[in-house]
Amino acid sequence: DGGITQSPKYLFRKEGQNVTLSCEQNLNHDAMYWYRQDPGQGLRLIYYSQIVNDFQKGDIAEGYSVSREKKESFPLTVTSAQKNPTAFYLCASSILAGSTYEQYFGPGTRLTVT
Amino acid sequence: QQQVKQSPQSLIVQKGGISIINCAYENTAFDYFPWYQQFPGKGPALLIAIRPDVSEKKEGRFTISFNKSAKQFSLHIMDSQPGDSATYFCAASGLTGANNLFFGTGTRLTVIP
């Protein structure tokens, strides 16, 4: 059963704590992405990675960190430096070949920080 | 700065009617324009996509119309059904080789029976 899995579905943390969100894909996709979704603001890109051990900042990378040690995994850490971390976080992946830009999304993780 | 502007923010349509969502972009380097459908608490799912070499693409009840000169594209949902009630996002890509998508702010569609 191919796809993108994100865990957990809901996550609660106290302010000041770092938290890591998991993203795994078995689609053999080269690229992976993290987006943040807030009401009325669409999806905003946090980080992306085209190959293992390489990643680039997106539009709102401050307060976040990522790693890409394996092709199928792209965990996101929300650090205590992120001023407003409560949001719905979405992971996506895509092939990097030819002219296709199709991105496939996971089910998301809703993070609540109090 | 929003690379892709989407309207309306919300839309209510009678069952069987046509739902129309519009998007506009500025950067002419964009060459791929997908639409995503998202149900509450779920990740977005790719619905339909178009490239600038065609002016229209149809898949079932969903049609994308593309106007390259006006830098606008729209999603038409024919014979709208209550099951179509969701949030729809337009997006654009092509600026870099990283396949980065720039999303509109979304349209919440409600189809009433």
pLDDT in tens, A80-93: 888 899 999 999 99
pLDDT in tens, A32-41: 999 999 987 7
Pairing state between β A109-113 and A76-78: unpaired
pLDDT of residue B99: 66
**Cα–Cα nearest to A104, from B72, B64, B79, B49:** B49
* A24 pLDDT tier (thresholds 50, 70, 90): very high
In degrees, to the nearest 5, what angle opens at C-alpha B51 toward C-alphas A34 and A55? 25
- Report the pLDDT averaged over residues B24-42: 92
Kindly state whether B33 is in contact with chain A, defined as any CB-CB distance less than 8 angstroms.
no
Kindly state whether A41 is in contact with chain B, defined as any CB-CB distance less than 8 angstroms.
yes
pLDDT of residue A37: 95
| Helix (H) and strand (E) counts in chain B | 0, 11
Distance (Å, whole) CA A29 – CA B50: 21
Residue B95: pLDDT above 60? no
CB distance A6 to A91 below 8 Å? yes
How many angstroms separate the Cα of B64 from the Cα of each of A22, A45, A100, B41? Answer: 34, 24, 17, 25
pLDDT of residue B2: 77
Contact B104 A107 (CB under 8 A): no
* Residues 43-102 of chain A whose Cβ lies under 8 A from any Cβ of chain B: 43-45, 48, 50, 56, 58, 90, 92, 94, 96, 99, 101-102
CB distance B30 to B49 below 8 Å? no
pLDDT of residue B78: 98
A19 strand-pairing partners: A78
pLDDT of residue A101: 67
| pLDDT cut 70: percent of chain B above it | 95
How many angstroms separate the Cα of A105 from the Cα of each of A91, A92, B13, B112? Answer: 6, 4, 27, 28
| pLDDT cut 90: percent of chain B above it | 79
CB distance B77 to B47 below 8 Å? no
* A102 pLDDT tier (thresholds 50, 70, 90): confident
CB distance B84 to B75 below 8 Å? no
pLDDT of residue B16: 98
pLDDT of residue B106: 95
pLDDT in tens, B52-77: 889 999 999 999 999 999 999 999 99
Q: What is the mean pLDDT of chain B?
A: 93
Burial bucket for residue A68 (CB in 10 Å: 0-12, 13-18, 19+): buried
pLDDT of residue A5: 96
b/e map of B50-84 (b: 16 or more CB within 10 Å)?
Answer: bebeeeebeeeebbbbbeeeebebbbbbeebeeeb
pLDDT of residue A39: 83
Distance (Å, whole) CA A52 – CA A106: 19
